[in-house]
Structure 1
Amino acid sequence: MKKNIAIIASFLIAIAISGCEKYTDLTPRGALVVETAQDYYELVSYPNRGYLIANFQYLVDDMWLKESNFIGITPNINTVHFSFNENIDRVSMVNSSNFYDRAYLYINRWNTIISSVDASKGEQNVKDLAKAEAKAFRAFDHFLLVNVYAKAYNPATAATDGGICIMDKYDLEAQPTKSTVAQVYDFIQKDIDEAIPFLQVQPLDPYHPSLAFAWALKAKIHLFKREIAKAKEACEKSLSYNNQIFDLVKYTTTQGGPSVTPIIAPNNPEVLSYQYIQGYNETNFGYTWLISPELRALFGTNDARFNMFFNTTSASFLDIGSGAAYYSIAYTRFFYPTVGLKTTEVYLMQAECLARQNDLAGAIAIVNKFREKRILSGTINLPVPATRKEMMEIIINERRKEMVLGFNRFFDLKRLNTEAEYAKTVVRTYPLVNKTVPQQTYTLLPTSRLYIIPFPLGILKKNLNLTLNTDEKLPL
């Protein structure tokens, strides 16, 4: 097959997905031929990558549902997950998944670049750069998939825990088998390690991966594997390229905030990679993303992240009296990253590494440096805690407040639940306002199979090599 393949315009936007059974079907609609190394390099830039989390967004302690979207509603995947119900057939409810389809769509894009750029016209350094950037993003997408559809990495069981399909080449007829969690992580680490030597400090535009992004992703991979020394080293490397913390305190008190000084994508200096839950304008729909009373209380009354961005007064969007809140700032006023990596996450990963190494003074110093740009008044600099567990609780809570609305809390609960010291039983009492139905208490155990999202039924039907990672029954 000719190596300089025709990349179709529709390929850049919407390709019919067949998941693990078959990557995509290409339908020629005004073909855009990609034949030079520079063409392939520019193909890496994809400004509107989105990862819709509707299949699992309520399996956390940070998200909330308006009561009218739960009471009297025919059970759906959102209500099942919100009530932590293990007795309903989830597999039949998840016939398709935008998250799954898009992640493999993007992987197919990266594989096209990786497999074809070497045969293109152009300089070798441009080919190496295009291939490296595609590998960095391929690692990112596999990392997301394995953390949604498989168990969290556990050093004791990862070699036998079912993972996901690794897609490492452009092959329209592939019917791959499922790899283990350990094999997927090995693949991810190999991709990011091979990419880093060729990446740039300042890429062509912010939709290309930088060295700061790659080292941050490497840190996250090691942290999730509990390889703490390697994670700490990667954090330091990432911060050596970008260590900026956007000063929300100054922004609020002296610059007028988003109504006076808009900060739009790609102008937020903290952001290391621009991805979204839905798309570039996603925060226009922020009122549909309620944060829980528990998370709202965690912010307190003097946190710029809450005071600036969240609303608690609109009866149209939330139940007054529930204690919930919703994101209320348009994307044209401020870009708050939900799923992409940013420097503040790197700082919090660095603090976690220090805490796990029992350097509590070092860990709290990083947290306090971070809090100076977030806390408006009152206690800003926290004292050194007495124990590692107390220090970890501070870090975990800061992660909840800093990395809201995306999939990060879901990932954190899963990984921390593999350690008895940090495992959490999530308890939800609901409803809080409606008095016509009995109030119930719902419980999500750290060992719940709900944390492993079933592969979409449509994909399971097409690729019989793919099997569920839970003990749920397959309705085939």
Structure 2
Amino acid sequence: MRKNILFALILSALSIGGCKKYTDITPTGSLIVETAKDYYELVSFPNRGYLISNFQYLVDDMWMKESNFIGLTPNIDRVHFSFNENIDRVSLIQSSNFYERAYLYINRWNTIISSVDASKGEDNVKALAKAEAKAFRAFDHFLLVNVYAKAFNPATAATDGGICIMDKYDLEAQPTKSTVAQVYDFIQKDIDEAIPFLQAQPADPYHPSLAFAWALKAKVHLFKREIAQAKDACEKSLSYNNQIFDLVKYTTTQGGPSVTPIIAPNNPEVLSYQYIQGYNETNFGYSWLISPELKALFGTNDARFNMFFNTTSASFLDIGSNAAYYNVAYTRFFYPTVGLKTTEVYLMQAECLARQNDLPGAMAVVNRLREKRILSGVVNLPVPASRKETMNIIINERRKEMVLGFNRFLDLKRLNTEPEYAKTIVRTYPLVNKTVPQQTYTLLPTSRLYVIPFPLNVLKKNPNLTLNTDEKLPF
């Protein structure tokens, strides 16, 4: 058993990190994973990454430099940026770093869950290791089902094709696909089984805390439109960590990133540290342009934009497009893009209150966040006259607070299942180049593009896996 565990973890390391040594993913000084403490320490995995390059442009918040689009052969980025439903995406997605990493992480969690009970050590440490692994296994299944399947719709989730649930370690498995409802049931079961054994203050920030688990539970309930349960889970999460990093004070009195660096894992509002590229991902912010629409949404007095984004480099963006790019090195400030954080919990809480028609309560939560983000002018917004207006404010705050990662993609998918909040995205492009005709691209709320095809190499390996869209297999 120990030899198999060792081989699996080495394989995971080589697949994810290329040249990482085996000792990078095992406890310091340990050659064999054999004790409960060893398994517990394996949960801490500081450099988990979820590369979103196969679907990052299917949103209204991201942008592409014109020289990376005009006159070039369509690849998956350009197909998605132009919202083109007429091109076969299956052949374009030969493989997926996102898909492969998520399942490699799941195999890691499954190894811990299935093997820790037979290890040497105290029962409470075994229970903690197993619980933490279940929390992260739930997180990874949640990401996978929300990328490769339709958003949860109470009316159709029981029949909508989902993903393969992996509940045991098996590198050679060819599992069958579960429905969206079944995957969500599995996720909720993992979270509920984990919570009683988790800690408020884990050994390090790469272990899941109670604040993280309750936040994830809130997110799952919210995506299922189980509003009362989501609201309760938000309150539980905030009871363990309710910190909001004060960007206003940081800007005005602490000198900002150039004077007072805030690096991972020292951002107090972060509940889990994962990345869209790696620990140093925001060092390459010039490759992650935000759209003119999102830039305009920030306005001129928002510390989230003024501190972190640049609009003036002709090398990195098209001057005159009104796009912008992230411009602060990861060694100066860690800006969370993927993992859960307290401010998302606050905004989920606000959304729950709005959906329950407590508009003053919802806006009180929104304004608590804005007080830490808005530098001048109108900070505290008045209570709107309708739930729809209140929800629009909350949705826009989510766009500004949870920028650069995959959260806007997930939000568009879930909100598009509700006619009241569904959005048709219209993109006019190019904005600067005058040598090619300007075109208007449209992404409907019902577009099949929102369901990303499984990667071709996985489809070939597992005949039990079928597409969740009406696209055709090329073999």
Name the TM-score, length of structure 2 as normaliser: 0.96
Distance 1:170 1:190 in 2: 18
Question: What's the counterpart of residue 259 of structure 2?
Answer: 260
- Counterparts of 1:166 and 1:389 in 2: how far apart (Å)? 36
Partner of 1:6: 6
Report the count of equivalent residues: 466
Write the deviation string for residues 179-206 of structure 1: whole angstroms up to 9, x where unpaired.
0000000000000000000000000000
Q: 1:49 — aligned with what?
A: 48
Distance 1:4 1:401 in 2: 45
- What letter matches 2:15 in structure 1? I
The answer to whether structure 1 residue 144 and structure 2 residue 148 are counterparts is no
Q: 1:360 to 1:16 in 2, by over 3 A?
A: closer
Alignment of 1:10-409 (within 5 A): 10-11=10-11, 13-15=13-15, 32-409=31-408
Query: What SS does structure 1 have at the residue aligned with 2:368?
Result: helix
| Structure 1 CA distance for aligned equivalents of residues 271 and 235 of structure 2 | 15
Deviation digits for residues 399-458 of structure 1 (CA, Å, limit 9, x no counterpart): 000000000000000000000000000000000000000000000000000000000001
Deviation at 1:174, TM superposition (A): 1.5
Amino acid at match of 2:14: A
Tell me if structure 1 keeps the 8 A contact 2:16–2:101: no
Q: Could you tell me which amino acid in structure 1 is paired with residue 403 of structure 2?
A: V
Shift of 1:3: 8.9
Work out the CA distance in 2 between the residues paired with 1:288 and 1:315.
Answer: 13
Indicate conservation of the 8 Å contact 2:251/2:303, yes or no.
Answer: yes
**One-letter amino acid matched to 1:99:** F
Task: Return closer, same or farther for 1:10/1:172 CA change in 2, 3 Å cut-off.
Answer: closer
Q: Where does residue 448 of structure 1 map in the other structure?
A: 447
| Counterpart Cα distance in 2 of 1:324 and 1:216 | 32
SS of aligned partner of 1:429: strand
Q: Which residue of 1 aligns with 2:426?
A: 427
Contact 1:360–1:391 (8 Å) recurs in 2: yes
Query: Structure 2 CA distance, aligned partners of 1:347 and 1:16?
Result: 33
> What CA distance in whole angstroms lies between the structure 2 residues aligned with 1:208 and 1:11?
22
Moved more, 167-176 or 427-436: 167-176
Give the 3 Å change call, closer, same or farther, for CA 8–386 of structure 1 in structure 2.
same
Query: 1:218/1:370 Cα in 2 relative to 1: closer, same or farther (>3 Å)?
Result: same
AA aligned opposite 1:431: P
Q: 1:2 to 1:336 in 2, by over 3 A?
A: closer
Confirm or deny: 8 A CA contact 1:368 1:382 kept in the other structure: yes
Cα distance between partner residues in 1 of 2:144 and 2:362: 30
Which ranges in structure 1 are unaligned for 5 or more consecutive residues? Answer: 18-25
Matched residues in 2 for 1:326 and 1:185: separation?
35
RMSD: 1.6
- Alignment-mate amino acid for residue 447 of structure 1: T
d(CA) in 1 for partners of 2:379, 2:112? 47
Q: State the 1:11 CA deviation.
A: 3.9
Tell whether the 8 Å contact from 2:9 to 2:108 is kept in structure 1 after alignment.
no
Secondary structure of the equivalent of 2:230?
helix
- How far does the alpha carbon of each residue in 1:272-291 deviate from its partner, in whole angstroms, 9 at most, with x for none? 00000010000010000000
Kept in 2: contact 1:8–1:32 (CA 8 A): no
Do the aligned residues in 2 keep the contact of 1:8 with 1:33 (CA within 8 Å)?
A: no
SS of the residue corresponding to residue 441 of structure 1 reads strand
Q: Which amino acid aligns with 1:187?
A: F
Tell me the distance in 1 between the aligned counterparts of 2:64 and 2:126. 47
Query: How much has 1:9 moved relative to structure 2?
Result: 6.1
Query: In the alignment, residue 6 of structure 1 is paired with which amino acid?
Result: L
| Mapped partners of 2:274, 2:187: distance in 1 | 19
Distance 1:308 1:171, change over 3 A: same
SS in 2 for 1:427: strand
Counterpart of 1:467 in structure 2: which amino acid?
T
Distance of 2:291 and 2:168 partners within structure 1: 42
Percent sequence identity over matched residues? 87
Amino acid at match of 1:262: P
Structure 2 CA distance for aligned equivalents of residues 268 and 193 of structure 1 = 27
**How far is 1:381 from its partner?**
0.5
Instruction: Kindly provide the CA deviation profile for residues 354-384 of structure 1, in whole angstroms up to 9, marking residues without a partner as x.
Output: 0000000000000001100000000000111
Aligned 8 A contact 1:3 1:116 in 2: no
CA contact (8 A) 1:4 1:34 kept: no
What are the superposed Cα offsets for residues 16-72 of structure 1, whole Å, 9 maximum, x if unpaired?
A: 89xxxxxxxx9xx99931000000000000000000000000000000000000001
How far apart, CA to CA, are the structure 2 residues paired with 1:402 and 1:290?
A: 16
What's the offset of the Cα at 1:216? 0.1
Question: In structure 1, the residue corresponding to 2:307 is in which secondary structure?
Answer: helix
Distance in 2 of aligned mates of 1:78 and 1:5: 37
Note if contact 2:199-2:209 (Cα within 8 Å) is conserved in structure 1: yes
Q: Which residue identity is paired with 1:325? A: A
The alpha-carbon distance between structure 1 residues 292 and 16, as it changes in their structure 2 partners (threshold 3 A), is closer
Tell me how far apart the structure 2 counterparts of residues 439 and 8 of structure 1 sit (CA, whole Å): 51
CA distance in 1, matches of 2:323, 2:15: 38
Displacement of 1:4: 8.0
**Alpha-carbon distance in 2 for matches of 1:210, 1:220:** 15
Q: How far 1:171 sits from its partner (Å)?
A: 1.9
Taking the aligned partners of 2:203 and 2:7, their CA distance within structure 1 comes to 21
> Does the 8 Å CA contact 1:159/1:182 hold for their aligned counterparts?
yes
Please tell me whether the aligned partners of residues 107 and 171 of structure 2 are also in contact (alpha carbons under 8 angstroms): no
Q: Please state whether the residue corresponding to 2:14 is helix, strand or coil.
A: coil
TM-score, normalised on structure 1? 0.96
Structure 2: distance between partners of 1:453 and 1:366: 34
TM-superposed CA distance for 1:12, in Å, is: 5.3
